[in-house]
A and B are shown apart, each in its own frame.
Chain A
Amino acid sequence: MRAVNYNPKLRLQIFLVLIISAIVFTIFGGYFTRFFIAEIAILSIFAMSLDFLAARGGMVSLGHAMFLGIGAYSTAVLSIDFEINLILTTFLSLFIGLIIGVILAYFIVFLDGIFFIMVTLALGEMFNAWVFTSDLLGGSDGISGIMRPDLSNLGLDIYNPLIFSFYTLMWVLFIYLLLARITDSALGRNLDAIRQNINRVSSLGGYTKYYKIIAFSLSSGVAALAGSLYVQLNGFISPELTHWTVSGEGLIMIIVGGIGSLSGAILGASIVHIIQHELSNIINWWMLIIGVLFILIVLFMQDGLWGLIEKIKHKLFRINFK
């Protein structure tokens, strides 16, 4: 895979623009806007997990919706059947995603390119098939009646959309800072090196499998967190969430936003979700338009919207310079 976007300054700038506009919309928006922002925030976390995996880890997964499902079902089962506090459950879901990620990664990280894509797809579909037949997880009906974490100690009502929206945005901020920090760290540099030339890294004495496992499990944990937040938002989980097309849609988001740039993933998640939501209201054949639009972006805009912004910024800078 060729070198991917890396520009910490622009990354932070775009992130700030996005998060500030989200906060503004949340404060001044109505009920539906706030719900919408929370949805986008959760999708952004999922997109960031895929972005980190694809861009830094060099692994493209079509089965990542499985981890959304793992997070979502863990939250449902732990909070309903075991009556564990929901804040703790959120962290536990992340942790469960992380652990399952380590175990799976151990068997699959050595695969490359198209084989990795196909195997993750098959694993995801296997999980999907299992969920559909599992009595414990409610089969095709899913599980409903999941609560949101109780923040009344802080004097906050989590069922107020304003509060919940800020709660999800807080998670976005946390995950962004975490993944950005890791991208800039030695671990991130190692991952970049492995992606560009894995043989060279191993001959220099780097234990490549170890780094790839870390990248995969980290991304799995983050995806599981997104799943956990998703059930907290909706109060129910249906097995459709774990279908492989959900992973595909997540990858579409990062391609639209610009792969490798974290804040591009957030931008992509926002744009794709807004287009899906708005187009499906106006036009009956919105899927056709999204499909065509998406193919055009894959063909002609290699770096997505991020690349466009970078180009515009570059041009403006040159004009000012003269």
Chain B
Amino acid sequence: MFLIQFFNALQFSMTLFLLAVGLTIIFGLMKIVNLAHGSLYMIGAYIGLSVWTYSSSFWLALLIAPILTGLIGALLYKVLFRHIQTADPMRQVLLTFGLIYIGLDVVRIFWGTMSHSISAPNLLSGSILILGEPYPSYRLFVIFIGIIVLIFLYFLIEKTKIGAQVRASVDDPEMAQLLKIDTDKILFYMFALGCGLAGLGGITVAPILGVEPGMDMEVLVLTLIVVVLGGPGSLKGALTGALIIGFVDSFGKVYIPQLAQIIIYAVMAITLLFKPDGLYSKS
């Protein structure tokens, strides 16, 4: 029982991580909190649903959903986000709030208001014995994807030249520009990458939670809490925050179901009381 809970919590943490890491990179580079991040996650799941329905291949859906969501993100960056970088925080937040409305209606127009489900591919539809207890292998696969993304991002950000440029743009954009780093291009690619990861999060949880309108709102607030808790702009913070919130939420729901929701917020409030900028703040 405990073991199953442990892996469920880990799986949920990884989903939160996929979402939070995109949001936190975007915040680090642009100082914008994108409230439409949850909408991108939902759209990723719906795109995956369509690909899965027409091709009946989950793997194709897993490939195409993040790419298309990333492209939508790229478009949003070119059309909107590029132009509001210097606006005050309220305008930025409210602009992304307007995007939530659009996202909700786009989903309703194209896919309707019904909830759908995607079945896991045959390879992953069974369960695996962990210390004598059966555990659905698809959930392990989600954990695996989370770890792959984590390793990929670590190498991208810490070990490559592009990563160095990204870090420079986060720390001091003006100095980075002086050094001939094309920060606008960096922002563009990172924004698209962040949105693509949200889409990846959407399609990977679809076989577990299903695909339905309103899934964006459920996950958005948790993702924001993860980002704020970990310290906006920090990759390490996104991982730590996702693990804390994922475990508190999963175990809270089992052991103290009545207070589970409130505990998450309490954890965040207490953390912010002691570290107002989050666990891994830059300043």
Chain A residues touching B, majority SS: helix
Do residues A119 and B272 form an inter-chain contact, with CB atoms below 8 A? yes
14 additional contacts (CB under 8 A) given A114-B89, A130-B261, A251-B94: A2-B88, A111-B276, A117-B90, A118-B228, A121-B224, A122-B221, A125-B265, A244-B221, A251-B90, A288-B109, A290-B101, A292-B102, A295-B99, A298-B95
**A255 contacts the other chain (CB 8 A):** yes
Do residues A60 and B90 form an inter-chain contact, with CB atoms below 8 A? yes
Given contacts A111-B276, A114-B33, A122-B224, contact A295 B80 (CB under 8 A): yes
Chain B residues touching A, majority SS: helix
In the A-B complex, the 6 residue pairs with the smallest Cβ-Cβ separation, listed nearest first, are A291-B101, A129-B261, A126-B265, A288-B105, A291-B102, A294-B98
Measured CA separation A62–B232 after assembly (Å): 18
Do residues B89 and A113 form an inter-chain contact, with CB atoms below 8 A? yes
A positions within 8 Å CB-CB of B: 1-2, 54, 60, 62, 107, 110-111, 113-115, 117-119, 121-123, 125-126, 129-130, 132-133, 244-245, 248, 251-252, 255, 259, 285-288, 290-292, 294-295, 298-299
Do residues A287 and B228 form an inter-chain contact, with CB atoms below 8 A? no
**B61 contacts the other chain (CB 8 A):** no
A60's contact among B93, B105, B259, by CB below 8 Å, is which?
A: B93
Do residues B265 and A122 form an inter-chain contact, with CB atoms below 8 A? yes
Q: Which residues of A contact B266 (CB under 8 A)?
A: 126
Measured CA separation A89–B33 after assembly (Å): 39
Q: Which residues of B contact A122 (CB under 8 A)?
A: 221, 224-225, 228, 265, 268-269
Do residues B261 and A133 form an inter-chain contact, with CB atoms below 8 A? yes
Query: Which residue in chain A gives the minimum CB-CB distance to B109?
Result: A285
**B63 contacts the other chain (CB 8 A):** no
Interface residues on B, range: 35 or more
Q: Which residues of A contact B276 (CB under 8 A)?
A: 110-111, 115
Distance of A240 from chain B, by nearest CB (Å): 12
**B159 contacts the other chain (CB 8 A):** no
Distance of B149 from chain A, by nearest CB (Å): 24
Do residues B225 and A1 form an inter-chain contact, with CB atoms below 8 A? no
Do residues B102 and A118 form an inter-chain contact, with CB atoms below 8 A? no
Q: Which residues of B contact A62 (CB under 8 A)?
A: 93
**B59 contacts the other chain (CB 8 A):** no
Measured CA separation A163–B272 after assembly (Å): 47
**B209 contacts the other chain (CB 8 A):** no
B265's contact among A115, A123, A288, by CB below 8 Å, is which?
A: A123
**B128 contacts the other chain (CB 8 A):** no
Some 6 contacts from A to B, beta carbons below 8 A apart, are A54-B90, A118-B224, A125-B265, A133-B259, A133-B262, A298-B84
Given contacts A130-B262, A295-B95, A298-B91, contact A117 B221 (CB under 8 A): no
Do residues B101 and A117 form an inter-chain contact, with CB atoms below 8 A? no
Distance of B58 from chain A, by nearest CB (Å): 30
Do residues A129 and B97 form an inter-chain contact, with CB atoms below 8 A? no
Given contacts A114-B31, A118-B33, contact A129 B265 (CB under 8 A): yes
Distance of B196 from chain A, by nearest CB (Å): 22
Query: Which residue in chain B gives the minimum CB-CB distance to A119?
Result: B272
Do residues A295 and B228 form an inter-chain contact, with CB atoms below 8 A? no
Measured CA separation A173–B224 after assembly (Å): 38
**B104 contacts the other chain (CB 8 A):** yes
Q: Which residues of B contact A60 (CB under 8 A)?
A: 89-90, 93
Given contacts A115-B276, A248-B94, A291-B99, contact A299 B84 (CB under 8 A): yes
Measured CA separation A133–B224 after assembly (Å): 22
Measured CA separation A252–B221 after assembly (Å): 19
**B108 contacts the other chain (CB 8 A):** yes
Measured CA separation A113–B93 after assembly (Å): 10
Given contacts A1-B88, A252-B94, A299-B83, contact A285 B108 (CB under 8 A): yes
Q: Which residues of A contact B93 (CB under 8 A)?
A: 60, 62, 114, 117
**B162 contacts the other chain (CB 8 A):** no
- Could you say which of B31, B232, B261 has the most chain A C-beta atoms within 10 Å of its C-beta? B261
**B277 contacts the other chain (CB 8 A):** yes
Given contacts A118-B228, A119-B272, A285-B105, contact A126 B89 (CB under 8 A): no
Query: Which residue in chain B gives the minimum CB-CB distance to A259?
Result: B90
Distance of A197 from chain B, by nearest CB (Å): 15
Measured CA separation A251–B89 after assembly (Å): 13
User: Which residues of B (145-193) have their CB < 8 Å from a CB of A?
Assistant: none
Given contacts A118-B224, A123-B265, contact A252 B97 (CB under 8 A): yes
Interface string of B245-276 (1 = CB under 8 A from A): 00000000000001101100110110011001
Q: Which residues of B contact A117 (CB under 8 A)?
A: 33, 89-90, 93
Given contacts A115-B277, A291-B105, contact A129 B262 (CB under 8 A): yes
**B208 contacts the other chain (CB 8 A):** no
Distance of A133 from chain B, by nearest CB (Å): 6
Distance of A189 from chain B, by nearest CB (Å): 21
Measured CA separation A179–B228 after assembly (Å): 33
Query: Which residue in chain A gives the minimum CB-CB distance to B221?
Result: A125
Query: Which residue in chain B gives the minimum CB-CB distance to A126?
Result: B265
Measured CA separation A117–B277 after assembly (Å): 13
Do residues A288 and B102 form an inter-chain contact, with CB atoms below 8 A? yes
Q: Which residues of B contact A132 (CB under 8 A)?
A: 261
Do residues A291 and B98 form an inter-chain contact, with CB atoms below 8 A? yes
Q: Which residues of A contact B94 (CB under 8 A)?
A: 248, 251-252, 255, 294, 298
